[in-house]
Amino acid sequence: MQLIADRFTQSLAQVWPEGARDPSLKLGIAVSGGPDSLGLLLLAAAARPGGVCAATVDHGLRAESAAEAAQVAAVCHDLGVAHETLRVLVEPGNVQSEARTARYAALADWMAREGVAALATAHHADDQAETLVMRLNRASGVAGLAGVRERGWVPDSEHLLIRPVLGWRRAELAAVVADAGLNAADDPSNRNTAFDRVRVRQALAGADWLDVGAWARSAENLADADAALDWAADREYGARVLREGLGVNYRPAAPRAIAMRVIARIVEEIDGHAPRGNAVARAFDSLLARQPVSIGDVVARPGPGVWSFMKAPKRRA
């Protein structure tokens, strides 16, 4: 266990150097009770004794969920890790999406209450490869294909979110759990082919030619490219965008991928909502063809060397 704990310590320090410098910072672990998150919990407890706490979100969607949360609490007690079960109400609609929203909102509240400096989740290399395939199927751009990042923010909050096992395989985390003599929870939704991710997971499992680690590294490379495009878009915005009166003027000089990011930023600033990528692409093509276009509640018009953006006038009742 010591060798793998040392490897995890290195992975954690790479994604969360603040924690390596300051052992007093509290690391929170989101633990569902499945093999991935349970493996992460065991690794974190071994690598950072006394500096870890955990939370399990009970969505109440399955009869077994309360018992699974109690099982995680028992494991945490044995490890000397403080644990809390967070019960949430999932709104009707897209179950996975609504559950995710409720889960992260509860975890953000928990972090604030407990003074947690960073929240770690158990996203791993297999998850990354699955995400890459799903987004390729949706014709995603560079930002989407970059998949999940090692560092980010808990949605709709200012709390740090880290993924220290993003370079690890699913089987490695399961082995950590098995070596500890623990039985992980079995969520049947992970076998429900009504979900895109499950179908992709099953297809990838049967592809023995697939190098999941290489796919995950490709996602990292795409994340680097995404960061470079953001950097270039910031420079383009600063040099070529000017607010004039009630509108915004943009004198484009950058390639399409960068100009689209500038357009998206302008629209979000005016409209208050981030536009979808396909809407931005349609707007760029229309403006390039010297045709006016609407994006949400924003109207964009082409002029000689400049594209103007304004809030659309309110329609009369």
Q: State how far the Cα of 217 lies from the Cα of 168, in Å rounded to an integer.
A: 11
Element holding 117 (H helix, E strand): none
Measure the CA–CA gap between 142 and 145, rounded to whole angstroms. 5
- Sort residue 251 into left (φ over 0), alpha (ψ -120 to 50) or beta: beta
Q: What is the pTM of this model?
A: 0.84
Residues 111/119, Cβ–Cβ less than 8 Å: yes
Domains, in order of start, for the chain: 2-217 (3.40.50.620), 245-311 (no CATH)
pLDDT in tens, 198-212: 898 888 888 888 888
33 appears as a binding residue in the annotation:
yes
CA pair distance 159, 118, nearest whole angstrom = 7
**pLDDT on residue 90:** 84
Helix 125-137 / helix 196-205 crossing angle, nearest 10 deg:
110
- Quickly state the pLDDT bin for 316 (edges 50, 70, 90): low
Contacts 24+ apart (CB under 8 A), 301-308: 305/251, 306/249, 306/250, 306/251, 307/249, 307/250, 307/251, 307/252, 307/263, 308/247, 308/248, 308/249, 308/250
CA distance 276 to 166: 27
Would the annotation count 252 as a binding residue? no
Q: Is the per-residue pLDDT at 168 higher than 90?
A: yes
pLDDT, one tens digit per residue, over 236-256 is 999 999 998 889 999 999 999
**Is-contact 29 64, C-beta < 8 A?**
no
The answer for residues whose C-beta is within 8 angstroms of residue 171's C-beta and 6 or more apart is none
Question: Is 34 part of any known ligand binding site?
Answer: yes
Residue pair 253/262 in contact by the 8 Å Cβ criterion: no
Residue in 131, 91, 97 with CA at minimum distance from that of residue 215? 131
CA distance 25 to 72: 23
Q: Is the per-residue pLDDT at 147 higher than 90?
A: no
Average pLDDT, the chain: 92
Q: What is the pLDDT of residues 49-106, one digit of tens each?
A: 999 999 999 998 888 889 999 999 999 999 999 999 999 988 777 777 888 899 999 9
- The answer to whether 119 and 159 have CB atoms below 8 angstroms apart is yes
Q: Determine whether the annotation assigns residue 36 to a binding site.
A: yes
